[in-house]
Amino acid sequence: MRLVRAAALLVPLMLSAVETISEERNPALADSDSPWNVLAYGGKGEMHGVPICHPLAFFSKSPIPLDFDADFFGVNEADLTTRAQINLLGKIDSQRIYEIRLTVSNKEQRPGVPNPDVAPAIKVLLFERSVDEYCDIYQNQYAYNSTRETDEASIFDIGREKVLKTYETDRHTWFLQYWTVKDHAPLRLNSDSLYTAIQSASPPGALPFNRVLNLTGADLSVDIFGESPNHDSCLLGRVDLQLTVEGNKIKALHKSWIPSSSERVR
């Protein structure tokens, strides 16, 4: 996805650092393209892990089995206190989806750790695979600027398809992903074609559209700007899209250009 690639530029990918961790307690990196693989983000960038599937209670205990970013490497697990906030987001095809936020405190603060007053946090999305079995399909351990952070997780409809979304940003870096369900398994969705649709519906002279597409439903409206004679940006109008899900893509079913009132009177 376009937004994920942008985030990866800001947070360099360093999988080799994770691979050097030899302790068995750390989660393993993916060795296949299973739809149940974990997609994880942190200070080391984007990581993919083997499926982590357990009863719901497992994910609210210790952060160690989920620690792709090695935030707790070398830490005595007995020194950690974990507080879990569990939220049922809803269902897709009768499969429950939970969001869990883990806040972890360490009574033996390690020397050299920046800002020890800020407790490490992990956001986890769990997808139900069978009775009393949930799989960690997404987690985020990135350390945001908490004063500017936006953090969302929700399920919404695009036509007849239900879509799961996660979106985290502090206006410096961001992570945005969408999923639906195929064959009883999570399916990550790609929304890159929406940028092409927006650009093709925009008039000549419009500035390239590269802003965040934080979808909330089947309809999307985005403002389009151009460059004025004094080199300031000016509103030209908006592009309206009606969305659909086809395979693993979110696409524009219909698109239209609506000029601003100032453009209409020219």
pLDDT in tens, the chain (266 residues): 444 443 433 333 334 333 443 345 679 999 999 999 999 999 899 999 999 999 999 999 999 999 999 988 888 889 999 999 999 999 999 999 999 999 998 876 655 554 555 567 899 999 999 999 999 999 999 987 777 788 999 999 999 999 999 999 988 888 999 999 999 999 999 999 999 999 999 999 999 999 999 999 999 999 999 987 676 789 999 999 999 999 999 999 999 999 997 555 45
Q: Tell me, what's the pLDDT at 195?
A: 98
Q: What would you report as the CA-atom Rg of the chain, rounded to the nearest whole angstrom?
A: 21
What torsion, rounded to 10 degrees, do the Cα atoms 191, 196, 197, 201 define? 150
Residues 6 or more apart whose Cβ sits within 8 Å of residue 91: 97, 155, 162
**Sign of the dihedral defined by the CA atoms of residues 38, 41, 44, 45, in that order:** positive
What is the chain written as a DSSP string? -HHHHHHHHHS---HHHHHT---TTSPPBPSS--TTPEEEEETTEEEEE---EE-GGGGGS-SGGG-TT-TTTT--GGGEEEEEEEEEEEEETTEEEEEEEEEEEESSPPTT-S-TTS--EEEEEEEEEETTEEEEEEEE-----GGG-EEEEEEEEETTEEEEEEEEE-SSSEEEEEEEEETTEEEEEB-THHHHHHHHHSPTTBPPP-S-----SSEEEEEEEEE-TTS-EEEEEEEEEEEEEETTEEEEEEEEEEE-HHHHT-
Q: pTM of the full predicted structure?
A: 0.84
